Amino acid sequence: MAVLTIQDETATGSILNRLELEIAQEMLTVRELIARRVAQEVVAYNSRQQEVFQGLVQPTESERVLNGFRLLRRAKPVDTEEQLYKALEGFQQNSYFVLVNDRQVESLDEEVWLGSGATASFIKLTPLVGG
């Protein structure tokens, strides 16, 4: 089983978050990669119920804080399906883009190699104020 290193980065190259994801197969679609990443983030958050959710997309009923999102209603767990929908929609609307092994992927259905030593970077784009 290979370990994939995932980094969240800003457009200027600053690393916001780093996590490792165990991958059983070497080839996955970008859609499957995002789904596994989101599922791991949600399971980790829901099992620990930390104050701040560090994930790819902002959960409903949360506010942005330094290095993540603070949920406004802590008793309610984060929903995996809802987070996955938002993440896939964000990819399609260019809210972020994905580099796998330093190559930008273009489509959710594109297959990527994630064997030993592979890396995936999620570059989060911030909208311009006023335009």
Is 70 exceeded by the pLDDT of residue 75?
no
Lowest mean pLDDT: which of 17-21, 44-48, 127-131? Answer: 127-131
Is 131 inside any structural domain? no
Is 130 inside any structural domain? no
pLDDT tens-digit map of 47-61: 886 777 777 776 766
Is 117 inside any structural domain? yes
pTM for this predicted structure: 0.84
Is 102 inside any structural domain? yes
Q: How many CA atoms lie within 13 A of 112 on its CB side?
A: 27
Percent of the chain with pLDDT over 90: 41
Number of domains composing the chain? 1
Measured distance between the N- and C-terminal CA atoms of the chain, rounded to whole angstroms: 45
Is 71 inside any structural domain? yes
**Average pLDDT of the chain?**
84
Tokens 């030993």 belong to 116
Quote the domain boundaries for residue 20: 2-124
Is 129 inside any structural domain? no
